[in-house]
Amino acid sequence: MLKNLTPQPPDRIIEMIGLFKADTRDGKVDLGVGVYKDADGKTPVMRAVKAAEARLVESQDSKSYVGLLGNLDFVDLMRDLVLGDAVPAQQVTGAQAPGGTGAIHQLLELVKLATPEAKVWYSDPTWPNHPAIIKHLGLKGATYAYFDAATCRVDFDAMMADLGKASAGDVVILHGCCHNPTGANLSADQWATLTDFVLEKAVIPFIDFAYQGFGDGLDADAAGVRAMAVRVPEMLIAASCSKNFGLYRDRVGVALALSKDADALVLTKGALASLNRLNFSFPPDHGATVVQIILSDPELRADWVAEVEEMRLRMLSLREGLASALRQATNSDRFDFVAEHRGMFSRLGITPEQILKLRNEDAIYVVGDSRVNVAGFPEDRLDEVARAIAAG
């Protein structure tokens, strides 16, 4: 049987991790791996997480199962974090999932159960797992234009032209903020136009919300999603705690479904419980309970909010510093968009040949589509890295 398996395509980022680790040069720079890094190049455990884990270890008296939907207090708190008071709590149901990826998978499984003939639209470019999971589940996928490589900004006219081909019942995946891989965000007006489109076309918005707090702030990053949630009859949301809580390896996520139809929500809750049972039985508890402790304790929550803001401001400072260094190195405004983008990523718009040259000659590792993790830039070497990019 096993000999019938075919080789799977390599993950370009995982492949690059191996190349970077094998590189023995001093001063090498990893701009590929999508994790937050501090000034020392480390991905720290957040202060509030440390404190919450200490409380959990002290108080937890069982490792028994929690429930098919996971920690429901966590689910409710995440609903409030994402949606605020935009919609009544009784219009939302949800389930804990293993990370944002698990939440995306479960919600796409839900789509397959409800409307297997639906087409799932995703941006070009997007996070590679979007099309991969869609294909794996046997759903029909389609792309819509999003990023103008010439201007390095959102091409909203082209986006709406492509989405105009969608049919009623189709699903449209939207990045809640901090678009991965481009860093180019939709404006408030564009969110409003998209909401008009959703209502007119009767399509289902599916929000991938992996970076709340990393763009313009926890509430500002959710503004577009919340404004849309007020108006649309249904919405799916996959939210991740990997980035803003730093819980990458603990796999903490939530799958939320919004509906103004109470009967539909009852069916959705049962379907999510069934899908969890089929895929992994019970979601992992530790990280979700840590988040629950943080969000329900005013002191810990305030410290967490402060640390997320520190991380956001650090990335914004790196963006501004890099854009300035590139302006000086190139004697042009070609890379000014870096300061305008938000979140961990931007696409620099350099060629594969330039990317290979950066790796071979300067030990600077960039993903093949020129996406860079802004948090990976060494803040004391921005001029040096900018000169290497400009020299390409």
Residues noted as catalytic: 127, 208, 210, 243
CB 122 within 8 A of CB 133: no
> For residues 150 and 148, what is the distance between their CA atoms, to the nearest angstrom?
5
> For residues 343 and 375, what is the distance between their CA atoms, to the nearest angstrom?
9
